[in-house]
Chain A
Amino acid sequence: MNSPDKIDVRYVAHLARMHLGDDEVARLQPQLEQIVGYVRQLDELNVDGIEPTAHAIPVQNVFRSDDVRPCLDHDAVMRNAPQAREGQFIVPKIIE
Chain B
Amino acid sequence: MTTLNQLTVADAAAKLANRECSSEDLVAAVLASIAQHDQQVGAYLTVDAESALAQSRAADAARAGGDIRPLLGIPVGMKDLLNVQGQPCTCASKILKGYVAPYDATAVAKLRAAGAVILGRLNMDEFAMGGSTENSAYQQTRNPWDLSRVPGGSSGGSAAAVAADEALATLGSDTGGSIRQPAGFCGCVGLKPTYGRVSRYGLTAFASSLDQIGPLTKTVRDSALLLGAISGRDPHDSTSLDAPVPDYAALLGGDLKGLRLGLPKEYFIDGLDAEVEAKVRAAVDQCRALGAEIVEISLPHSKYAVAVYYIIATAEASANLARFDGVRYGLRVDGEDPIDQYGKTRAAGFGQEVKRRIILGTYVLSSGYHDAYYLRAQKVRTLIRRDFDTAFEKCDAILTPVAPTAAYQFGEKISDPLKMYLGDIFTIPVNLAGICGVSVPCGFTSEKLPVGLHIVGPALREDVILKIGHAYEQSTPWHKVKPEIRGQKSEVSGQ
A contact residues vs B (CB 8 Å cutoff): 1, 4, 7, 9, 12-21, 24, 27-28, 31-32, 34-36, 38-39, 41-43, 45, 47, 50-57, 59, 62, 64, 72-73, 76-77, 79-83, 89, 91-94
Which single residue of chain B is at the shortest CB-CB distance from A51? B382
Which single residue of chain B is at the shortest CB-CB distance from A80? B329
Contact across chains for A47 and B346 when beta carbons are under 8 A apart: no
B contact residues vs A (CB 8 Å cutoff): 98-100, 102-103, 194-196, 209, 235, 238-239, 241, 301, 304, 306-308, 310-311, 318, 322, 325-332, 334-344, 346-347, 350, 352, 355-356, 358-360, 362-363, 366, 368, 372-373, 375-383, 385, 417-418, 421, 432-435, 459
Contact across chains for B379 and A55 when beta carbons are under 8 A apart: no
Which single residue of chain A is at the shortest CB-CB distance from B435? A56
Contact across chains for A89 and B328 when beta carbons are under 8 A apart: yes
Distance between Cα atoms of A70 and B432 in the complex (Å):
35
A-B pairs with beta carbons under 8 Å apart, 27 shown: A16-B346, A17-B325, A18-B346, A18-B347, A18-B359, A24-B352, A32-B360, A35-B360, A36-B363, A39-B373, A42-B380, A43-B376, A45-B383, A47-B383, A52-B375, A53-B378, A53-B379, A56-B195, A56-B432, A56-B434, A57-B195, A59-B239, A64-B235, A76-B102, A80-B329, A80-B330, A92-B335
Collect the chain A residues with CB atoms within 8 Å of residue B433's CB.
56
Distance between Cα atoms of A2 and B139 in the complex (Å):
40
Contact across chains for B343 and A42 when beta carbons are under 8 A apart: no
Collect the chain B residues with CB atoms within 8 Å of residue A56's CB.
195, 209, 381, 385, 432-435
Contact across chains for B343 and A18 when beta carbons are under 8 A apart: yes
Collect the chain B residues with CB atoms within 8 Å of residue A82's CB.
326-327, 329-332
Shortest distance from the beta carbon of B127 to any chain A beta carbon, whole Å: 14
Distance between Cα atoms of A9 and B432 in the complex (Å):
28
Collect the chain A residues with CB atoms within 8 Å of residue B102's CB.
72-73, 76-77, 79-80
Which single residue of chain B is at the shortest CB-CB distance from A58? B434
Report the 7 A-B pairs with minimum CB-CB distance, sorted nearest first: A56-B434, A52-B378, A82-B332, A76-B102, A80-B329, A47-B379, A19-B343
- With contacts defined as CB atoms under 8 Å apart, how many contacts are there between chain A and chain B in the complex? 174
Collect the chain A residues with CB atoms within 8 Å of residue B306's CB.
38
Instruction: Please name 8 further chain A to chain B contacts, defined as beta carbons within 8 Å, in addition to the given A12-B366, A73-B102, sorted by A numbering.
Output: A19-B344, A24-B355, A28-B356, A38-B418, A39-B311, A56-B385, A57-B196, A80-B329
Collect the chain B residues with CB atoms within 8 Å of residue A89's CB.
327-328
Most buried by B among A18, A50, A80, A81: A18
Collect the chain A residues with CB atoms within 8 Å of residue B238's CB.
59, 62
Collect the chain A residues with CB atoms within 8 Å of residue B355's CB.
18, 20, 24, 28
Distance between Cα atoms of A75 and B321 in the complex (Å):
24
Distance between Cα atoms of A42 and B433 in the complex (Å):
17
Contacts A20-B347, A32-B363, A80-B328 given: A57-B241 contact, CB under 8 Å? yes
Collect the chain B residues with CB atoms within 8 Å of residue A91's CB.
327, 338, 341
Most buried by B among A16, A52, A92: A16
Most buried by B among A51, A73, A91: A91
Which single residue of chain B is at the shortest CB-CB distance from A64? B235
